[in-house]
Amino acid sequence: MLQIPEETLERMRAARERTGSARHELQDMLKAGGLRPTRQRIALAALLFSTGRHRHVTADDLHRDARADSTALSLATVYNTLNQFADAGLIRKIGMNGERMHFDTDPGDHHHFYVEAEDRVLDVEPGAVCFSALPAAPAGYEIAGVDVVIRLRRSKPEKARNACSGGCARRAGSGGDMPR
């Protein structure tokens, strides 16, 4: 008889079940979005969603992940699939600059920081952006959502020291170029 403790076997069974159900969940998710669960789509959905954490990726990022995972897909296929996922509402497109589209696995309403020099997208904490006024939508339209992108650059050392020592109260006098 093999000396595998019952406890270990139980854990292996549970892990197998989890993998199975994860794949099943991905298939269900694709179907719910009106997409046929092809092998390519399942493979890319697994790469996008398997960590359980939200991610911001470009087609290049996901293409790199796919290659590292030995999933042979062209960059164009990855890009097209990401767009299909976005059209299906599974992920969200965020245009940070003219050249590259970022995709967000969190399709919910939230705002972003964008580190221009690093082409990096970060989530802004929920509730941290508030508006005192929004323009009325033109006749025949309604506002479907507001996406704020706060562009970041590295602060100069002396500025960084001054900026944070007193919290928000120190802001006074630093502005002057804020839009009204």
Site of interaction with Zn ion (CB under 5 A): 104, 123
Contact 34, 88 (CB under 8 A): yes
Residues paired with residue 92 on neighbouring β-strands, in sequence order: 104
Q: Does 54 appear as a known binding residue?
A: no
> In one letter, which amino acid is 94?
I
First to last CA, the chain: 78
Q: How far apart are CA 12 and CA 8, in angstroms?
A: 6
* Distance in Å, CB of 72 to Zn ion, minimum: 29
User: C-beta of 123: minimal distance to Zn ion in Å?
Assistant: 4
Least distance (Å) between residue 14 CB and Zn ion: 32
Nearest-approach distance from CB 111 to Zn ion, in angstroms: 8
Buried b (16+ CB within 10 A) or exposed e, 38-72: eebbebbbbbbbeeeeebbbbbebbbebbeeeebe
The 3-class secondary structure across 109-172, one letter per residue, is CCCEEEEHHHCEEEECCCCCCCCCCCCCCCCCCCCCCCCCEEEECCCCHHHHHHHHHCHHHHHC
